[in-house]
Structures are given as structure tokens and as C-alpha cells.
Structure 1
């Protein structure tokens, strides 16, 4: 009876004996932090049943989920805006709330799901005044 090398046996136990577990473990050890975060965010997209940001197009009514990278208040002469870049591991969708200076819970690093119609502004995907649900804070 052949036995597994000790390192392979330990890796198999840690991964619950699932096929590809060693491959996933090696991937996590060699991938950059940004790559790992992107993979985790893409899994969340699937889990929430949302569209990946890279696939959404102008005019579509979509549901996107991800993590807020930046949140900026822009005092404009006509209408002040609060803008937040939502990253889902594949692309960014900018969420824009017109007439708002701040919204409780909308802050960098926060996970949320947003729904709305996609527009294009300055070659960027934008959703104006989205309906949103904040994820529980970590």
C-alpha cells in the first residue's frame, strides 16, 4: 500500500480531502493580496446572484455587489453629489447619490449590494441614486 508524502497528507486533511485543494492552497500562497481579494469578491457576486461589473452595459437594470473602494463628496455648483466606487473583483461601478453630502454606512471598505440602471459617464459605468443594502460590518 503506497502512502502519501507527509506534506501532501497534511494538505489533504486541511482541505478536507477535496480534489484541487492542494492547488487552491498553493494559489493562495503565491497570489498577491489584490488577486486573492478579487477572487473572494467574485465569489460573493455569485453567492448574491448579482451580475459581474465587467458584464454590465449601459441601459441595463442590474444588481451588483462588492466593496466600496473610495467615497468622495463633490460640491458642485448645481447639485452636490456623493460618489462611491464599488469594486467586485472584475470591474468598478461608480454609485452616485445626487444632492447628498453623506450617507450613514457609505464609507471605504464597506461591502454592499446596489441596484439600478447603468449609465456611462466619462467612459465609466455609473448608477445614479441606487437602491442599496449594506452588508454587516466585519
Structure 2
């Protein structure tokens, strides 16, 4: 209790993503990290003995299509980083603004194997600014 008989006010901390402006978690001269900082090459992503670890990959969307998975709509895209490609699938979505062929994307999640292909289901993703593809 404070001196006035009221409970003390809570002070909230704002969360900042790593690499966000104002954070000091890189050795770059500017305030921003490059899009592929901390990313794993797609060809190096695999299910290891420790289980499916969360990976972060960066690449260009080569193809985007709509399909049905277990009776529900899904948006599927092929993400290619030059070393290999994988499928990125958003379940329950028919489209997502900005998800289109030629767009650079950073995505993170757990990779699984489905029909012989590596797949990221419902990943966290960040669209890169146009012109930086």
C-alpha cells in the first residue's frame, strides 16, 4: 500500500521484438537487423533427434495456391532461399494480403515432413518491404 492508502501502480514493460528499433541486440551500424539475420538455410532444416525445433527461414515465394486440407481451406506457398524450398501452409485461410509470388518473406515455426516435402504449418511470418527481394 502506498502512503495514500492505495495499492501501488503497476508499471508495465513494453515488449520489443529482437532487432526492433531502439533495441541493442546487434552489432550493425544501423538500428535494423537484415531480414535473414538468424535464419537457417532451408536445406539445413531437418527433423533432428531432439525433435522438431523452431526454425527461422528467409526466402522468396515462388508459387501461391489455394487448396483444401481435411475439408477446410488452406493457402499454400512455396518458399525458396536458393539452397532448397519448402511449403508454407496457412490452415483456414483462402488468401492473405501480401502473400504473392515474388514476395520476400521471413517465416518461423516447426518443420514437418508431409508427402516427402518439408512443410511449415501456420508459421509466424514477416513480409519484407518491396524492392528488397
Q: TM-score range by the shorter chain?
A: 0.5 to 0.7
* Residue 124 (structure 1) aligns with: 117
Cα distance in 1 between the residues matched to 2:79 and 2:53: 17
The CA deviation string for residues 84-125 of structure 1, in whole angstroms up to 9 with x for no partner, is 000001000110000100000000000010000000001100
Cα distance in 2 between the residues matched to 1:130 and 1:77: 19
3-state SS of paired residue (1:63): strand
* Residue 56 (structure 2) aligns with: 63
State the 4+ residue runs in structure 1 displaced beyond 2 angstroms. Answer: none
Alignment partner for residue 92 of structure 2, among 95, 99, 123?
99
Alignment map for 1:6-21 (pairs within 5 Å): none
3-state SS of paired residue (2:61): strand
Higher normalized strand content (fraction of residues): 2
3-state SS of paired residue (1:80): strand
Alignment map for 1:1-138 (pairs within 5 Å): 47-58=36-47, 59-76=52-69, 78-138=71-131
TM-score of the superposition, structure 1-length normalised?
0.64
Task: Give the aligned CA root-mean-square deviation in angstroms.
Answer: 1.6
The CA deviation string for residues 53-102 of structure 1, in whole angstroms up to 9 with x for no partner, is 00101312100000000000013561111000000010001100001000
The CA deviation string for residues 2-28 of structure 1, in whole angstroms up to 9 with x for no partner, is xxxxxxxxxxxxxxxxxxxxxxxxxxx
Unaligned runs of 5+ in 2: 1-33
Cα distance in 2 between the residues matched to 1:64 and 1:124: 16
